[in-house]
Structures are given as C-alpha cells and as structure tokens.
Amino acid sequence: MKKVYGSAQEALDGLLFDGMFIASGGFGLCGIPELLLQAIKEAGTKDLTFASNNAGVDDFGIGILLQTRQVKKMLSSYVGENAEFMRQYLSGELELEFNPQGTLAERMRAGGCGIPGFYTKTGVGTVIAEGKEVKEFDGQEYILERGIFADLSIVKAWKADDTGNLIFRKTARNFNPPAAMCGKVCVAEVEEIVPRGSLDPDAIHLPGIYVHRIVQGDHEKRIEQRTTRKREDV
C-alpha cells in the first residue's frame, strides 16, 4: 500500500466531506497537524465536528477553520487562547462538548481499541455527568463515557518510515497517538520520513497499522505563550 503523498492536499484527496467528524492531535500549539488543517481550510469542507484538546489560537491550528466558519462543534478540554472560539460559543454559533483531558484522551484510545464505552469517576457530580448513565462499583459512582469513532484522524509526528510507523517528539506525544487510533482513516504529517528499517522498534510510539497516509512538510515552531522577565544586572 502506498502511504507517502506529495502534499497535504494530496494526502486528504477523496477523504473529506461536509459534516464529517475529525479527531485532531496536538496540545496548545505543540504537535498540531498544521499542514492538514490548512488543506482542510482550502478545501472548504464545512459543518465539521472536531475532537481535539483545544482549538489552537485565532490564526493557527483549528482556529483558522473557526475563522472561515467551517466548524460546527468541538469536543475539547481547554478552550482558552482563542477569542474567535469564545465569540462563536457565547453567541450560539458553535456547539461545545467539554471533556476532562484524561477522559478525552481515553475516549479516543477506547475508540481505537474498539471499545464503545467505559466508566470513570472523573466528572461525577458535575455538569460533565449530566445526561450520562451512572453506575456504582464498590460503593463509588462512575459515569459512562463513549469511545470516539471519527471519520478521519489527522496528526503530526516527528519521524516516520514509509510503512507509517511514527515517533513523536517530547510534548507532541500528547493527544496524537490516541487521536490517530480512533479514525477510520489516519493521515499523518511528519517532519522527516526515514528509510524503512531505520527506526528502532522500541522507539516507535504508534505502529503503522493505524496510519494510512503520510506527508512530509515544513512546520512552524510557534510558542503559545511567551513569558519573559527583565534582565537583572549582576
């Protein structure tokens, strides 16, 4: 199976349709599939539902799709740093389903493992539990959370071989592996594609069985929040 494509646009060819459900990796501005998100923007695909820890910032990440009104719903943990997200949500233009971060990651992982649901204590007694089944185990209440089964997964990795084995670098190994697992099709953008057999099997974070298409590209290295202090004279 050919997995390596020449561009993000080629890698998404034939996969996009209006109203689809997309699982996207990344945390803040780290490890987000920026090239694939730009390609989705250019394709004009609309009425999208995204499962992603957050929506990036106004002009980067999923934020660029909010600007063009291509997103109708977000399943997220953190929605700060994005003024357009806030504006659309408060005005009723954008639907939002809050998930605790661990729950969102586990919902993705569960979907990737074929698990339709699981029970967790996280969120019991809060608005997170509203409308969800509650079950008691050993005298403790747990709520039922559903596994996420997306139409498409888009992720960003550091290195890949042509079979789709992926290595994520440092903090980028956050939501990317579970997001990659839960889509019917997974497209990964990477910084470098290396020859087959050159990756240490023990260093591979996600096996190629989960990855259907790969594209190599140049990426920005943005800092979401830059904190500095005045230099002290010594």
pTM: 0.91
pLDDT digits over 132-188, tens only?
Answer: 999 999 999 999 999 999 999 999 999 999 999 999 999 889 899 999 999 999 999
**Could you tell me whether strands 166-167 and 150-161 are parallel, antiparallel, or unpaired per DSSP bridges?**
antiparallel
Topology (CATH level 3) of domain 4-115+149-216 = Glutaconate Coenzyme A-transferase (3.40.1080)
% of residues, the chain, pLDDT over 90: 81
What's 148's DSSP letter? P
At residue 210, the pLDDT reads 96
Residue 234 scores a pLDDT above 60: no
Q: Which amino acid is at 48?
A: L
- Tell me the domain boundaries of the chain: 4-115+149-216
pLDDT at 196: 94
CA angle, residues 94, 96, 101, in degrees to nearest 5: 145
Instruction: Give pLDDT, residue 224.
Output: 63
pLDDT at position 78, please?
A: 87
Structure tokens given for 176 = 């990317």
> Residue 83: what pLDDT?
87
Chain segment 80-97, per-residue pLDDT in tens? 778 898 899 999 999 999
Sheet containing 117-120, strands listed edge to edge, beginning at the edge strand earlier in sequence:
117-120, 140-146, 134-137
